[in-house]
Amino acid sequence: LHIRELSIMYTTIFEEVKILASLLNPIFPQARILTAQVGSTLGTHTGPGTLAVAALVE
């Protein structure tokens, strides 16, 4: 599998996103890493402190 992009989504704590991105970067050096804060609709269901990772695979 070739992972082209990773997306890290979060609700409240961006510092954890930076840590997670720094851990994933050496494992998937070819992947572009994107970050995004989820909106209030999804955040209501997941709660504070949520982190999610999605991958775009070729």
For residue 25, the domain's CATH number is 3.30.1180.10
Instruction: Count structural domains, the chain.
Output: 1
Q: Residue 30 above 90 pLDDT?
A: yes
Q: Region 35-52: what's the mean pLDDT?
A: 91
Q: Which domain holds residue 17?
A: 3-57
pTM of the model: 0.87
Which alpha helices (H) appear in 1-58, and where do they start and end?
14-27, 40-46
Q: Average pLDDT, whole number, for the chain?
A: 94
Instruction: Give the model's confidence band at 44: pLDDT under 50 very low, under 70 low, under 90 confident, else very high.
Output: confident
pLDDT of residue 42: 86
Tokens of 21: 């991105």
Q: Tell how strand 51-57 and strand 3-10 pair up.
A: antiparallel
Q: Region 8-15: what's the mean pLDDT?
A: 94
pLDDT of residue 28: 96
